[in-house]
Amino acid sequence: MAKAKIGQAKTPADATIIARDPQMIEVVKLLKRLAGTSSNVLLSGESGTGKDVAAHALHFWGDRSSLPMVKVDLPSIPATLLESELFGYERGAFTGAAATKAGKLELADRGTVFLDQIGELPPVLQAKLLRVVEDRRFERLGGTESLELEARIVASASAGLEQAVERELFRRDLFHRLGVFWIRLPPLRERKRDIVPLAEHFLEREIERRGRAPSRFAPNATEALENYSWPGNVRELKGAIEHGVLMARGDTLERADIPAYVLDSSSVAWGFAREKRPSLADVERSYIERVLKDVGGNQTRAAEILGISRKSLWQRRRRYELD
C-alpha cells in the first residue's frame, strides 16, 4: 500500500501530497518522474484540487529544490501590469520606470516559474509567451538585450481550459507547448479513499499550529466526511477541519463539530455517497432507522413522529429488517 504522505521527508508542508486513492497514486508517480526533468507541465483540475501543491512538489522533489520557485498569480495582476511583471522592464521604458527591474521569468533563474491560472492570460500576451516558450529567450520591456529563459515552466488551469481552446479563447499552440505533460488532478469526490487521510493530515497540522486540538475523529464524523461530495475539493475539506477544531470541546472531533452545511447536505443527512443515489425505499428505511435511534427504540414515539400506526411501523421494520 502506498504511503499516505509522499515526499514529506525532504519537502515543505505545501509540497506534501496525500495519496491513498489509486487515481491519486498514479498522479504522484508521474509527478515524481517529471520532477527531475525540464519539460513543461500543465496541471488542470477544479478549484481546490491541489494544483498549487502539485506544482510545489514538481519543484521540491527534483534537483531544483534549492533554486527559486516564482509563482505568478495571473488573475490577481491587472492586465496593464502583467507584461512588465512577467518580462521586467528597462529604465525609461514607460512613465514611472525610474530603474531597471527584473521580471518573474528572470527572477526564477534556473528554478521554476509557476504560471497559476494560465487561462486568464490575455490573448496578446499568449502570443508573446508562446515565443518565449518556443525560443527560450525574451527581452525586458524597452530593452534590446535577449535574455535566456533558464527556468522550467509549470502552469495550472481550471477544468475549462480545453473548452477555451475549442472556442479559440486560448491559443491551441500555446496549450500544447505548455502541456508537454498534462496532468489532470481528480476532484475529491472521485478519490474517496483520500478523504479521511486528508482530514487526519489537516487535523495534525492544526495541532502543530495551535499546540492543542482534538486528536482524533469520532466514527460518525469520519462517516459524514466520507459521504459529503466536497464541491470545493481539498481546500473546502481543509476549511471544514479548521472549523471542526475550533468547535470541538474535547479530545474527539464529533459529528456535531462539522460545519452545518456539510451535515445538512442530502448525501450526509441520509448517509449515502453522492455517486450512489438512494431509492425511495432506501430513504424510507434510513429515515425510520434514524427516528428509532433518536427515540431510543420507543415504538409509540417513533410511530407518532413518522405519522403512522404502530402496526404500520412494525410492518416496515420487518420489510427493512430493522428488528
Which CATH number does 5-186 carry?
3.40.50.300
Instruction: Provide the CATH topology of domain 280-319.
Output: Arc Repressor Mutant, subunit A (1.10.10)
Bridge-partner residues for 181, per DSSP? 41
DSSP label at residue 6: E
Q: How many CA atoms lie within 13 A of 45 on its CB side?
A: 26
Q: pLDDT digit string (tens) for 47-57?
A: 999 999 999 99
Bridge partners, residue 152, by sequence: 112
CB 264 within 8 A of CB 304: no
CA atoms within 13 A on the CB side of 163: 3
pTM of the model: 0.79
DSSP state of 211: S
Give the pLDDT score at 272: 55
Pick the CATH number of 189-269 from 3.30.70.100, 3.40.50.450, 1.10.8.60, 3.40.50.300: 1.10.8.60
DSSP readout, 219-274? HHHHHHHHHS--TTHHHHHHHHHHHHHHH--SSEE-GGGS-HHHHTSHHHHTT--T
Cell digits for 217? 475523529
The 10s digit of each residue's pLDDT in 15-40 is 789 999 999 999 999 999 999 999 99
Q: Is the pLDDT of residue 44 over 90?
A: yes
Average pLDDT of every residue of the chain = 88
Structure confidence by residue, pLDDT tens digits, 205-253: 999 988 888 999 999 999 999 989 999 999 999 999 999 999 999 999 9
- Candidate from 63-77, 134-148, 266-280 with smallest mean pLDDT: 266-280
Sequence ranges of the domains in the chain: 5-186, 189-269, 280-319
**Confidence band of 308 (pLDDT split at 50, 70, 90):** confident
b (16+ CB within 10 A) / e for 127-145: ebbbebbeeeebbbbbbee
